[in-house]
């Protein structure tokens, strides 16, 4: 019993407090770093017109200006981007179909 009291009397509370404070500081810095990283990953693209493949109309127009793409190829690529955008919009569109009418006794044959 006397030995346990000596252990309590010799506990370095200042060191324990400092260690706890440093651990909390490290955790706070990690949380801040994660928040910044998530914000950067979720930031919208500057051009706003890109599709899943990373191409956008502005980049394709630049390829035509640079002579790396013909106007016909541009029109084909533009049509593909428009189709992909329309398909994505249809997938994201909420279904607003009306609920089926409940059946009544009149609807059922006797």
Owning domain of residue 23 = 12-42
**How many structural domains does the chain have?**
2
Same domain (yes/no): 36, 59: no
| Claim: this prediction has a pTM higher than 0.85 | no
Place of tokens 């500081």: 25
CB 51 within 8 A of CB 84: yes
- pLDDT at position 28 over 60: yes
- pLDDT at position 104 over 70: no
- pLDDT-derived band at 32 (thresholds 50, 70, 90) equals very high
Q: What pLDDT score was predicted for residue 27?
A: 96
Q: Give the integer Cα–Cα distance in Å for 93 and 101.
A: 23
Q: Determine, yes or no, domain membership for 104.
A: no
29-47: burial string, b at 16+ Cβ within 10 Å, e else: eeeeeeeeeeeeeeeeeee
Same domain (yes/no): 54, 89: yes
């Amino acid at each position: 019993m006397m030995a346990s009291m000596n252990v309590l009397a010799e506990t370095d509370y200042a060191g324990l407090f400092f260690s706890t404070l440093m651990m909390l500081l490290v955790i706070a810095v990690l949380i801040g770093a994660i928040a910044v990283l998530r914000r950067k990953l979720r930031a919208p693209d500057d051009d706003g017109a890109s599709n899943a493949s990373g191409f956008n109309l502005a980049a394709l127009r630049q390829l035509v200006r640079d002579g790396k793409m013909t106007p016909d190829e541009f029109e084909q690529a533009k049509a593909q981007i428009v189709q992909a955008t329309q398909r994505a919009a249809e997938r994201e569109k909420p279904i607003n179909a009306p609920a089926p009418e409940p059946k009544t006794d009149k609807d059922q044959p006797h």
